[in-house]
């Protein structure tokens, strides 16, 4: 039986778990490691044992016995039932004050359920969102922990040490609130990621089909954009993907890839949760639906004979890259605004003390949606923590105003050319909905009252009203 010498344990040594354990060891922590397949544990130590101190554990009991108190056990196992199974086996081995840390892509509602179930035992359950993929896990991810303040006091310094650092040197890790707050923020991160990727893909499609540029030429456009306000990880890698040539055919890589995008479900979770909270995230939703449409091969095959405008003809004019850049920037800001609105609504619903400025701060490095303008978003919430929408910040509002002419031209060009732009269009519709003096929801309320007596409010006096539509349209106060 191992002596209690390790400061933290990791069970589940697939790529993410292995790299997270290596990251911890590289930063001087003694790490107890366990995997149900013992060969994987031995392989980690044999190959990377020189990077730090690893303590091999053959069983979960050995893992627990190897840890100093309070014990910190990180689960890097498959979300869902496998996570529950490990918790059920592990929790009886722990004592009050110990911590089970779920670093997987769990649904935040599962994290809330697990934390509530373990709370009477005194064992802390900490849901931690980790973004950055396998490279981030090794070199420094963006870390989004929830859980109790007491647990973070013990666990937080370790997580902050292994997290990515922003340009100002601060760690991309912060306590985001109790129970499921961390996994909710990670879920919304992924929803924004869906929207960001869709908007970038639409930009590529418009430049190629609306300007006749080749993938290599569009790669150069993206490289230029990455030196300006669109500076971000996703813009950077997009240029690399577009510039890549397939070794077998000599064709642009993007032309030999099947145009059916897959998804693991976190985007859907974001939209489903937004519906439950009553928060409009139509830009994120359209990105999820766009992936869904791409995957319905039979549906698309059936629609290919539908009429549409003529194919691209340079003589009829081209889409200006500068216009697309402005539309992309404005639409990206809308996606982030919707995501932050959802996080704020969830924090209010579940009683979390989530600071939106901290969320922006910990997304500045390590994660997939890291971008230059996140520091400005952090500053916007630091200046006004009660900001109802990012679009109301004077600086961002001014930029949106400057971009909206190009944005409208891009959406109109997509419509007239038959190039689908669900992300751009949804973001613009959201922007226009927020700035409208009145929305046609007034008519919807009238319809609801007519067929269902659902009542309505009035602009000229307080109260709730119903019109007796079958009785000479007489109005009564409810």
* CATH architecture of the domain with residue range 8-179: 3-Layer(aba) Sandwich (3.40)
310 is catalytic: no
Of the residues 115, 160, 193, 325, only one is catalytic, namely: 193
CA distance 174 to 185: 11
Which helix (H) or strand (E) is 448 found in, with range? Answer: helix 441-452
Question: Which of 1-5, 320-324, 461-465 comes out lowest in average pLDDT?
Answer: 1-5
CA dihedral sign, ordered 467, 471, 477, 478:
negative
Q: pLDDT tens for residues 228-249?
A: 999 999 999 999 999 999 999 9
CA distances from 302 to 126, 297, 340, 420 (A): 48, 9, 38, 17
pLDDT at 313 over 80: no
CA distance 461 to 288: 41
474 CA to centre of own chain: 50
pLDDT at 437 over 60: yes
**CA neighbor of 204 nearest in space, from 173, 172, 239:** 239
pLDDT at 317 over 80: no
Confidence of residue 316 (pLDDT cuts 50, 70, 90): low
Looking at residues 140-145, what average pLDDT do you find? 97
CA distance 160 to 173: 6
186 is catalytic: yes
Looking at residues 200-205, what average pLDDT do you find? 97
- Residue 213 · residue 319 · CB < 8 Å: no
What are the backbone dihedrals phi and psi of residue 394, each rounded to the nearest 5 degrees, phi first? Answer: -55, -40
User: What is the location of CATH 3.40.50.720 in the chain?
Assistant: 8-179
Which helix (H) or strand (E) is 477 found in, with range? Answer: strand 474-477
**CA neighbor of 283 nearest in space, from 430, 418, 439:** 430
pLDDT recorded at residue 199:
98
Q: pLDDT tens for residues 285-295?
A: 999 999 999 99
Kindly state the percentage of the chain with pLDDT values over 90.
Answer: 91
CA distance 316 to 209: 12
pTM of the entire predicted model: 0.94
Confidence of residue 130 (pLDDT cuts 50, 70, 90): very high
Identify the DSSP state of 373: T
- Give the three-class secondary structure for 255: helix
Of the residues 115, 160, 186, 325, only one is catalytic, namely: 186
CB-count burial class (<10 Å; 0-12, 13-18, 19+) for 43: middle
Report residue 190 as tokens.
């992924």
User: What is the location of CATH 1.10.1040.10 in the chain?
Assistant: 187-435
Looking at residues 82-108, what average pLDDT do you find? 96
**Total number of residues shown for the chain:** 478
Report residue 35 as tokens.
């995997």
Task: Give domain 441-477's CATH number out of 1.20.1050.10, 1.20.5.320, 3.90.1150.10, 3.40.1190.20.
Answer: 1.20.5.320
pLDDT at 2 over 50: no
Q: pLDDT tens for residues 378-429?
A: 999 999 999 999 999 999 999 999 999 999 999 999 999 899 999 999 999 9
CA distance 329 to 395: 14
**CA neighbor of 125 nearest in space, from 101, 144, 143, 109:** 101
User: What is the location of CATH 1.20.5.320 in the chain?
Assistant: 441-477
CA distance 217 to 252: 11
pLDDT at 115 over 60: yes
Q: pLDDT tens for residues 15-30?
A: 999 999 999 999 999 9
CA distances from 80 to 13, 83, 108, 187 (A): 17, 6, 11, 15
pLDDT recorded at residue 141:
97
Tokens 């709370």 belong to residue: 119
Looking at residues 296-306, what average pLDDT do you find? 92
Confidence of residue 435 (pLDDT cuts 50, 70, 90): very high
Mean pLDDT score across all residues of the chain = 94
pLDDT recorded at residue 1:
40
Is it true that domain 187-435 has CATH number 1.10.1040.10? Answer: yes
pLDDT recorded at residue 262:
80
Q: pLDDT tens for residues 327-383?
A: 999 999 999 999 999 999 999 999 999 999 999 999 999 999 999 999 999 999 999
């Amino acid at each position: 039986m191992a002596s209690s010498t390790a400061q933290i344990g990791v069970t589940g040594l697939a790529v993410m778990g292995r790299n997270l354990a290596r990251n911890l060891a590289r930063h001087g922590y003694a790490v107890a490691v366990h995997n149900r397949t013992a060969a994987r544990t031995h392989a980690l130590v044999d190959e990377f044992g020189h990077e730090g101190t690893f303590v091999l554990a053959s069983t979960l009991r050995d893992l627990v016995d190897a840890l100093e108190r309070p014990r910190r056990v990180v689960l890097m196992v498959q979300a869902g039932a496998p996570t529950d199974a490990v918790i059920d086996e592990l929790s009886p081995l722990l004592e009050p004050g110990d911590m089970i840390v779920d670093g997987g892509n769990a649904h935040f509602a599962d994290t809330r359920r697990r934390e509530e179930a373990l709370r009477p035992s005194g064992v802390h359950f900490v849901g931690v969102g980790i973004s950055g993929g396998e490279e981030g896990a090794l070199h420094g991810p963006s870390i989004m922990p929830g859980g109790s303040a007491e647990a973070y006091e013990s666990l937080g310094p370790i997580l902050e040490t292994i997290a990515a650092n922003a340009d100002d040197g601060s760690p991309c890790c912060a306590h985001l609130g109790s129970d499921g707050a961390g996994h909710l923020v990670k879920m919304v991160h992924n929803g924004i990621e869906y929207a960001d990727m869709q908007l970038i893909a639409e930009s590529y499609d418009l430049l190629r089909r609306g300007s006749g540029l080749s993938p290599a030429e569009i790669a150069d456009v993206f490289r230029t954009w990455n030196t300006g306000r669109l500076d971000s990880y996703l813009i950077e890698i997009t240029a690399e993907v577009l510039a890549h040539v397939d070794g077998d055919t000599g064709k642009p890589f993007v032309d030999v890839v099947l145009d059916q995008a897959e998804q693991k479900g976190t985007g859907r979770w974001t939209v489903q949760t937004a519906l439950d909270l009553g928060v409009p995230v139509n830009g994120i939703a359209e990105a999820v639906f766009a992936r869904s449409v791409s995957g319905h091969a039979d549906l698309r095959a059936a629609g290919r004979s539908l009429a549409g405008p003529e194919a691209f003809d340079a003589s009829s004019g081209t889409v200006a890259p500068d216009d697309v850049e402005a539309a992309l920037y404005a639409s990206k800001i809308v996606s982030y605004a919707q995501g932050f609105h959802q996080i704020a609504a969830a924090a209010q619903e579940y009683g979390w003390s989530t600071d939106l400025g901290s969320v922006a701060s910990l997304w500045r490095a390590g994660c997939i949606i890291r971008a230059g303008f996140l520091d400005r978003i952090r500053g916007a919430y630091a200046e006004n923590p009660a900001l109802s929408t990012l679009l109301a910040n004077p600086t961002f509002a001014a930029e949106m105003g400057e971009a909206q002419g190009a944005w409208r031209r891009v959406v109109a060009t997509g419509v007239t050319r038959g190039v689908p732009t669900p992300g751009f269009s949804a973001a613009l519709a959201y922007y226009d909905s927020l700035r409208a003096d009145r929305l046609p929801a007034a008519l919807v309320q009238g319809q609801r009252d007519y067929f269902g007596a659902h009542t309505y409010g009035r602009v000229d006096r307080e109260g709730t009203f119903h019109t007796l539509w079958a009785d000479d349209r007489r109005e009564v106060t409810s």
